[in-house]
Chain A
Amino acid sequence: MVLIKSYSAPPINEREVFRYAGGKDVAAVRELFEGCKTEIAESLSYKVCYLPLDVRVTDDFCDFGAFGVTSKHLARNLEGCVKAVLFAATVGVGIDRLIAKYSVQSPAKALLFDAIGTERIETLCDLFCRDIEREYQMSAKPRFSPGYGDLDISVQTELFSVLNCRKHIGLSISDSLMMSPSKSVTAIVGLCETACKKPSRKCEACGKTDCAFRGAL
């Protein structure tokens, strides 16, 4: 049975916003950012739907019961896990509307809204994963999304149908596997009974070493 969680707005990690916007916290941008922050408060909702499942990993095959996937990288990520949580999270369509509106009126603001949206959804996922650790009294592996490593992005389709995202949190997927609302994440989080090894830096587990956003944390 798919479960749902709603959150109230977590504090904004401003450094992350500026990093995503490709800038620094300089005076001119700060003023614009403060305006965006005020404008965005009413436009966001923080929702997650999730399904806890037992997982068994055999070689490269990860068997979740409801479905299974072959992926060396995911199998490595889930090493030592007996349970996994599949989840989808979104901050809603409000941010997409603001980005669309300001793309016409002020692309600088559109860029900041885009960056805020990215920061918001990442923060929501962090919050959710910490919650899950607490609830299940288990240690969570770094979340792993379709498209990471060798986990094919087409796995999205299966995650969407298992989680029934459209019904539960209003999240849908296009033919080209893009999510709407755009500031959304689907992922698999492995849970271990004992404290599991976590990468010291957020980007460590990712193989894309030429990424513009890599390694700032």
Chain B
Amino acid sequence: MNFSAYLQQNIVYLDGGTGTLLQARGLRPGEHPERWNVTHPDVITEIHRAYYDAGSNVVCTNTFGANALKFSPDELEEIVKAALSNAKAARNQSAAPQEKFIALDIGPLGKLLKPLGDLDFEAATDVFKATVSLGVKYGADLIYVETMNDSYEAKAALLAAKECCDLPVIVSCAYGEDGKLMTGASPAAMVALLEGMGVAALGVNCSLGPKQLRPIVRELLRYASVPVVFKPNAGLPECVDGKTVFDVTPEEYADVAAELIAEGVRLAGGCCGTTPEYIRAVREKAKQLVPIPVKQKNFTMVSSYTHAVAFGDTPVLIGERINPTGKKRFKQALIENDTDYILSEGIAQQEKGVDVLDVNVGLPEIDEPTVLKNAVEAMQAVVDLPLQIDTSDLAAMEAALRIYNGKAMINSVNGKAESMAAVFPLLKKYGGVAVALTLDENGIPKTAQGRVEIAKKILSAAAAYGIDRKDIVFDPLALTVSADAAAASVTLETVRRIKDELGAHTLLGISNVSFGLPARAAINGTFFALALENGLSAAIMNPYSADMMKTYYAYKALKGLDENCAAYIAAAQIFAETAPVPARAADTPEDGSALQRAIVKGRREKAAALTKERLASADPLEVVNNEIIPALNTVGVGFENKTVFLPQLLMSAEAAKSAFEVIKTALASKGTRAEKGLFVIATVHGDIHDIGKNIVKLLLQNYGFRVVDLGKDVPPETIVETVKKMHAPLVGLSALMTTTVPAMEETIRLLRRGAPWCRIVVGGAVLTQEYADAIGADKYARDAMETVRYAEEILGK
């Protein structure tokens, strides 16, 4: 019988700890246990056999750390081959009667993925693939990915396994005391991510004892539609009389395991500190139990790397502002690769309370697959909301879904055969919830009946790809009521019928309905309320629209979805705050204008508001030269004289930046810009900390320089290419540690050859004047202000 078939009908018993047993047999700290497959095959076989004898159905090979980052290709193959051969020998030797399987064990790579670490997602996938391919070659029955404490790495491992074999893949994660993975994912988020990608079973192992993991397992059982794994430690290790002991006995352990098997756990075993005794105890305790069938749960969920968002009674708000349509400033940011601008839009919408962010970067003049992938990567480094990948470019859609750290929304598919044939395979492979528009080759039906028919067609096509209806959310399309008086009511009827007749969720892009009418906000807010009352689950909307947000909070309060109306009351304060504050008499100039003082004091909202006011009567450049720059100089000189400290300098810089943003938007609408010179900035290859570089960037922008920020961990070649392409006169490089200074030196060497015209300024914790001289930089800048002064000297005021 193959493993999948066995799992369907039975409770599966896994093995227990290996590391503790190996240490007892002489494995030294720091020694690679995987090598013991080759050097001590008898010991490994004996341990595996003891587990089979104790009743384990599945033994995991001794390959936890067998990967291409730790071993050469030849040694890796030797290890995996020996590991499988040891497990097979154990299986042959054991006389125990149960079905026996061998799982290729895969642990974390030991390095953290970008952006937190330096390992690229695709590189991680390739490393996992190398091990999986060998496991398949040497006869594993299934793949067991374990002890994952980073959702992104878990995704890479699962994707790798799926791309190079058809074996069932189990993914089990190490949750901390806070109930989350080390990088933040909740159990529900892991269910969404892993199930979406077709995992055979998922669960918990390592990190904690059985009792501490119990609530996490219950959470998994609540959400998962696949079997759940329970493989905890034998409690926590303690040092007693110089010896390490675990504090949970086999009996206590088995009690919790049996309890959870009775609640629905389908695979049980043990991790650190557990021995064959524990497995025997679990089998004994659970022998009267029958496997609880795995039920399909109907949660429509998307997830980020921290949490899942479920569609249900509480409306889901999807922020629509990351979209260049009709926004000149946004287009400019896209063309200039101004990632910060796009990220700011994301962060600001999160602060307004949206649950999901739509990401659309479609512009004819850009390479959308690259730009969308980069935007998603950058966004998920700073915002923990699930993303909605919004594109009609399929290559872009796939590129983004592949590297997305979670289960994304996909915007969109529709009833056209061509659209479904293109989008559904991506949804099946990477997981996701698709927004399905109720239109097809014949356009948008005029009636609700017609739209419901298309929805049915979409559901059956999805089913043919193995996609469950819970992963489709319909957009019944809000059309313009000014063009067709029946438009809104047809949409509302469709919303209701899709919910009632198909049991599916719906969402709408609300604002279309008011197109061509004055005071659109009133129509939008009311239409939103009506749609919610008809069963709408989500809206793609503008969270800056007070009317939409008022409807949202009022609806939740009225529907009993807001305990004690707490969210409404909190929001009401915000509504009040958005009213314009009249300028007070106290703001009249004494030591500089009100705007100048706002900047000096670091008041960003005020600085932006005052700039807007000033632009009503003054030329943008006049405001810059007569107010913003003098204010910055006051602070800058203060910093140089040590009367102003770094945090204050930055607060002023932020205030100035918010003023500049207003100026830029004004200039972009006129199609002009005002910037002094070009400054390319980067944190060098191998260096992943860039707080200092970001401070320098902010100040340079403040002083009117156009800064092209290449980010952190930037290869020398990328820096040289950019400088050449843009003919940049000035480059700033930062490095934090001695280990990354050689990368800085290499960058300088290549720059001298490829871009001899360009001046190079360096900075960072580890650098000194001597160091800078030794590696051939033109200038060593001790702090951000010194860099600004140097830029002014080189590029002119």
Contact = CB atoms under 8 A, between A and B. Distances in A.
Nearest to B177: A6
Q: Which of B30, B111, B384, B738: most chain A CB closer than 10 A?
A: B30
8 contacts: A1-B239, A23-B648, A32-B647, A93-B182, A166-B112, A167-B206, A178-B686, A178-B687
B335 interface: no
Contact of B686 (A32, A176, A210): A176
A67 B28 CA distance: 10
Interface in A72-112: 92-94, 96-97, 99-101, 103-108, 110-112
B31 to A, nearest CB: 9
Contacts of B715: none
Interface size class of A (residues with CB under 8 A): 35 or more
B30 A103 contact: no
A23 B687 CA distance: 26
A170 B178 contact: no
B708 to A, nearest CB: 16
Given A93-B182, A103-B690, A172 B117 contact: yes
Contact of A110 (B694, B737, B768): B694
Interface size class of B (residues with CB under 8 A): 35 or more
Contacts of A174: 111-112, 117-119, 686, 688
B182 A101 contact: no
Interface string A31-69: 010000000000001000001100000000000001100
A125 B768 CA distance: 29
B347 A111 contact: no
Contact of A166 (B23, B108, B604): B108
A133 B706 CA distance: 54
A108 B654 contact: yes
B653 interface: yes
Contacts of B107: 167
Nearest to A165: B110
Q: Which of A3, A160, A173, A180: most chain B CB closer than 10 A?
A: A180
A155 interface: no
Contacts of B726: none
The binding surface of chain A is classed by DSSP as mixed
Nearest to A90: B182
A180 B690 CA distance: 13
Contacts of B115: 100
Contact of A167 (B20, B108, B116, B183): B108
Given A153-B739, A166-B108, A176-B118, A108 B182 contact: no
Interface of A: 1-4, 6, 21-24, 26, 28-29, 32, 45, 51-52, 66-67, 92-94, 96-97, 99-101, 103-108, 110-112, 114, 147, 153, 158, 160-163, 166-167, 170, 172-178, 180-182, 210
A60 to B, nearest CB: 21
A93 B28 contact: no
Contacts of A101: 347, 382-383
B707 to A, nearest CB: 13
B347 A105 contact: yes
B239 A176 contact: no
A71 to B, nearest CB: 16
Contact of B650 (A107, A160, A163, A182): A107
B736 interface: yes
B39 to A, nearest CB: 17
Interface string B340-356: 10011001000000000
Contact of B117 (A153, A158, A180, A210): A180
Interface string B432-445: 00000000000000
B196 interface: no
Contacts of B29: 2, 51, 66, 162-163
B647 A112 contact: yes
A114 B691 contact: yes
B347 A1 contact: no
Nearest to B69: A175
Contacts of A105: 343-344, 347, 382
B182 A170 contact: yes
Nearest to A178: B688
What 6 A-B pairs are tightest by C-beta distance, nearest first? A23-B645, A176-B686, A170-B182, A108-B650, A1-B244, A174-B118
B689 A182 contact: yes
Contacts of B383: 101
Nearest to A29: B647
Interface in B713-760: 736-740, 743
Contact of B691 (A29, A99, A181): A99
A4 B273 CA distance: 14
A178 B382 contact: no
Contacts of A181: 116
B177 A177 contact: no
Contacts of B236: 4
B602 interface: yes
A160 B646 CA distance: 35
A103 B116 CA distance: 14
Interface in B625-651: 645-648, 650-651
Contact of A45 (B110, B111, B178): B178
Contact of A108 (B20, B30, B602): B602
A131 to B, nearest CB: 12
A64 to B, nearest CB: 9
Contact of A28 (B184, B238, B344, B651): B651
B176 interface: yes
A181 B689 CA distance: 11
Given A1-B244, A45-B178, A176-B118, A26 B30 contact: no
A22 B647 contact: yes
A100 B112 contact: no
Given A176-B739, A178-B736, A180-B117, A111 B650 contact: yes
A107 B116 contact: no
B244 A106 contact: no
